[in-house]
Chain A
Amino acid sequence: MATGVKPRVKVPKTAAAGDVITIKTLISHKMESGNRKDKDGNVIPRSIINRFTCDFNGASVIDMTMHPAISTNPYVEFKARVDASGEFKFTWYDDDGSVYEAAKSITVS
């Protein structure tokens, strides 16, 4: 079970219609790969975030599948095209079934 998971997202507050904006996201998570062993030689069970999605007004921006080779505190940067004001929804799916969510709205002039 992952503790202290805190998502952080950076989205510009305003943009012009048709602009391509850069979105940066980071979520604190230890991303245990399942390949490491503790000092007694027992394998530490895998515990990672395996999927990350971002939607804008219901339309998918990115749908990312993560494997154990993603670093601790997964950071993702990507681009979205905005034609109208709306809300970005970010969702992270944990191996243990937890779902972490964040939302950010943007005003498009």
Chain B
Amino acid sequence: MKLTRRDAMAMGLGATMVAMLPLRVSAGSHGAIMAFTGGAEPGEGDITLTAPEIAENGNTVPVGVSAPGAEEIIILAMGNPNPEVADFKFGPAAGASEASTRIRLAGTQDVVAVARMPDGSFIKTSQNVKVTIGGCGG
């Protein structure tokens, strides 16, 4: 088989795309989870993330997190320039390991919550939020 110039171009382009795709996803946002867990992969568990499915205005999106017994919960927005959003540490006078606040989202993306439990394990959950700026659909 003879390799034409056109074939070579297509192969090069394909290879570049394959190489770039996973890198862009993992480098920023997944790294933020790993920085919090110290490299441990968080599992499933009793953690709830309350966020709207569709947010009309990405500038103020109400989100709530709840993980009974958790010592610390972080919220990450995977599609933001900086994925970190908030970090809640619950003290001895806390009534429940839950909190809610309002956050900014740059666009339609996954919002992730990771909780650190007293035994040192980590659990996470995520929800996709569609952001419809100007009402043109996400």
Report which A residues bind B (CB closer than 8 A): 20-21, 33, 35, 55-57, 59-72, 74-81
Task: Summarize A's interface: helix, strand, loop or mixed.
Answer: strand
By the criterion CB–CB under 8 Å, are B82 and A71 in contact? no
Please state if B93 and A70 are interface contacts (CB–CB under 8 Å). no
B30 at the A/B interface (Cβ < 8 Å)?
no
Total cross-chain contacts (CB, 8 A): 97
Alpha-carbon separation in the docked complex, A77 to B101 (Å): 6
In the complex, are the beta carbons of A74 and B102 less than 8 A apart?
Answer: yes
Decide: A70 and B99 in contact? CB cutoff 8 A.
no
Residue of A nearest to B84 (CB): A67
**Listed A/B pairs (9) with beta-carbon separation below 8 Å:** A20-B96, A59-B91, A60-B92, A62-B90, A68-B104, A69-B103, A70-B85, A70-B86, A81-B94
In-complex Cβ contact of B91 among A62, A67, A71, A76 (8 A) = A62
CB < 8 Å neighbour of A63 from B64, B80, B91: B91
Residues from chain A with a CB closer than 8 A to the CB of B94 are 60-62, 78-81
A74 to B88, CA, bound (A): 14
CB interface residues, B 53-87, toward A, < 8 Å: 59-61, 64, 77, 80-82, 84-87
Asked if residues A70 and B90 are in contact (CB atoms below 8 Å), the reply is no
